[in-house]
């Protein structure tokens, strides 16, 4: 398991992906996949401006990039770093792909799935041992989501619980 400083190092790279998404008008979720200390895939949210595409989440895009560039990699040794808590679709996809460590920065109060108790689900999930670490570089992630929701050109989730919650948050760092 990587140290706290490594979590920050890899989350910083996920933040770079999120910034790239934000700069192109997309919802600022960035993701990197780390294997034995090396970033082996990265990606960010795509097609959120289209309004109806809920398939191109950062984790899914990044996993596709991994499978294209590293077929056969041992997924159990991969750590996921995402600027936002994975939704149910992304968590399920990551877990079913064999990934067992997920680290995220900002909580998704509307659709996050990290508190899901896998042991209460169907037999396929019951014995999966998944480690989830939250709040890594949360303030930095929060700032990107606030910037997104403050921009009047961004329609994605504009009047949602997530937007309202995010805009009401204050960072813990002053100055």
CATH number at residue 67: 3.40.140.10
Please count the structural domains in the chain: 1
Instruction: Taking residues 83-104, report their average pLDDT.
Output: 95
Contact criterion met (CB below 8 Å) for 41 and 70: yes
Instruction: Taking residues 20-26, report their average pLDDT.
Output: 95
- Give domain status of residue 175, yes or no: no
The predicted structure's pLDDT at residue 170 = 86
- Give domain status of residue 77, yes or no: yes
Active site residues: 59
Q: Which residue has the higher pLDDT, 12 or 156?
A: 12
pTM of structure: 0.92
- Give domain status of residue 51, yes or no: yes
User: How many whole angstroms separate alpha carbon 65 and alpha carbon 30?
Assistant: 13
- Give domain status of residue 128, yes or no: yes
- Give domain status of residue 48, yes or no: yes
Residue 175 clears pLDDT 60, i.e. is over it? no
Range of the domain at 57: 4-168
Residue 119 clears pLDDT 50, i.e. is over it? yes
């Amino acid at each position: 398991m990587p140290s706290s400083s490594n979590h920050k190092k890899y989350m910083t790279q996920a933040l770079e992906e999120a910034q790239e998404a934000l700069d192109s008008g997309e919802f600022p979720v960035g993701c990197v996949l780390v294997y034995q200390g090396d970033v082996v895939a990265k990606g960010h949210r795509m097609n959120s401006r289209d309004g109806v595409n809920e398939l191109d989440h950062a984790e899914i895009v990044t996993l596709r990039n991994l499978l294209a560039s590293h077929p056969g990699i041992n997924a159990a040794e991969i750590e996921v770093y995402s600027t936002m808590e994975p939704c149910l679709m992304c968590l399920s996809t990551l877990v079913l792909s064999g990934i067992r460590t997920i680290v995220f920065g900002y909580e998704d109060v509307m659709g996050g799935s990290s508190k899901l108790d896998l042991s209460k689900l169907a037999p396929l999930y019951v014995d999966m041992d998944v480690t989830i670490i939250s709040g890594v570089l949360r303030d930095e992630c929060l700032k990107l989501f606030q910037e997104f929701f403050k921009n009047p050109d961004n329609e994605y989730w504009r009047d949602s619980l997530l937007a309202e919650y995010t805009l009401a948050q204050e960072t813990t760092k002053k100055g």
